[in-house]
Structure 1
Amino acid sequence: MRYVLAVAETNSFTRAAERCRVVQSALSHQIARLERELGAKLFERTSRRVRLTPAGTAFLPAARQCLDAAERAAAEVAAAVGEVRGRLAVGVISTVAAVDLPAVLREFHRRYPHVRVSLRVGPSEELTERVEQGAIDVAFLGLATTARPRGVAFRELARDRFVALVAPGHALSGAPHVDLRRLSTEVFVDLPAGTAGRAHSDGAFAAAGLDRDVAFEVTNADFLARLVGQGLGVAMVPAAYASRLTGVDLVEVVDSPVRVEYVAWQRSGPTPAVSAFLAILAAPQPV
């Protein structure tokens, strides 16, 4: 099943064998043996590409669940004898500000060196779905006050208001505050339409009955700030995150939206590694 997942994810028997650290002939032999047992082909193979058959597509979700269950069983046994093992797949939005995630991960790795840690950056809606599916163990999300994580267990971490980012020398630079109506006259840099990160600002302007021009859509908040710094537009980001940015000026938004940051994990309950991670997260952080 691991070999099948590797081929499905890489679309290549060669790359899958490299990932699984076996020779390609052994991987191909085991997949062919599994196909005989199942009575169906899982992959269509040509000289140019490899792709899943309908049977292969149907096989993948159950295969992932079986492998996740096996990994969790091994982790539970290790935890029962006082050792945390397994994996910790973390998902995070690019503007996380409620925790110093690199510091938390460093402490986790120091305490639990036998846990394999991985990290994925993405939008809240994608990370929530991956936690629900079991592809990610724990995720840090940022949502508007009108939304809550669905399909997962979660805990609120912090709430934060938005501030405006403007280029040095901009007409609003140095202003004590600004409102949404004034900002709506500016060209904007923002996250892609339809994402949870974009919903904060879209919802705020819509509630105020205002339209705005979003000329630049980016997926990375640091790149967003670089565009603003070059005078290509203005933006709104959470205040705690904005304080880390350079090359831009911050202006308080008097009628700002509010973002809620959450940590989320599977409803079925945290694995030993997730429980250990959440315990570190809940502990007071050094100043």
Structure 2
Amino acid sequence: MSKKDFHILHYISKEEILRKLNELGSKNLTKTGHGFSSFGAIPIIKSSQKSTIGFSAKSKEKPAIGLIDIVLSANRNYNKVVEPNIKRIEESYPDLKNFTQLKELMANLTQNDFYNFWGHKDEKKYKTLKNILKSIDQLKKENPLITDDFVLINEWGTKTDLINYKTDPIGSLPNIAIATFQHLRMVFGIDTIKPDQRVKEVLDYEFGLENLSDINTIKAVEQIAEIANLKVITVDQIFVQYGSSYYNQSANKLTIKQIAHNLLELGVDINVISKATLLTKKQIERIK
């Protein structure tokens, strides 16, 4: 699947996309689901729409907290590891709002003290946060008329080139993968998606789109959103909330596919296997 010619309708019909999206959205959030603590056991389409409305609310009010959240979230379980620390930081530091305050806080604390502040002993994330703040200082110099931190990053996120993100002042930083780059854009008001493992798993497991690149993952979700007349972030949230509610792909995917393989060997009809496992026929055919 090349970056230039990818289109989801080459692999799955519009009708099947809408049916599958409706199926995912109609399920209720579970206790493991991202957003459950905020919304409870409501249909995922409703929680995803609520998430969309409030996605940038925190970063508009407190850009510094939004940035901390993004850096901490990379390759971490949000419900268990990140969210509790964000709540604790907000309670302990209610006046921490802008990037300048965050930069000063980092300057005034030792590295170990900062680990205690944000609840993570992770040198890579610590350096990443410092580097992003340095790049933000450069953005401020280049945009002296913009005094609001949220507006500054929103303006950056609007103008930056996703395809060539590695030449961007933030995208070029060490340890800034495209998922973090996209997460930063999302949190600061851009309607896009973060091509993280959860989204890729749902595209594979539910839509039969296996081994997508980061760029094609973004394209796939954008195209699904256009077909369904939804915001891109809403589709992203449907995927994230469904996946975190109903399966851990890294743990369960092989088990389900092994079951499908065993059923095939027993001569069970492929349509029955598809209904029982929720795998698509194409996925089952690849198991043969």
TM norm. shorter chain > 0.5: no
Normalising by the smaller structure, the TM-score range is under 0.3
The structure with the greater share of residues assigned to strand is: 1
TM-score scaled to structure 2, two decimals?
0.23
The structure with the greater share of residues assigned to helix is: 2
Larger radius of gyration: 1
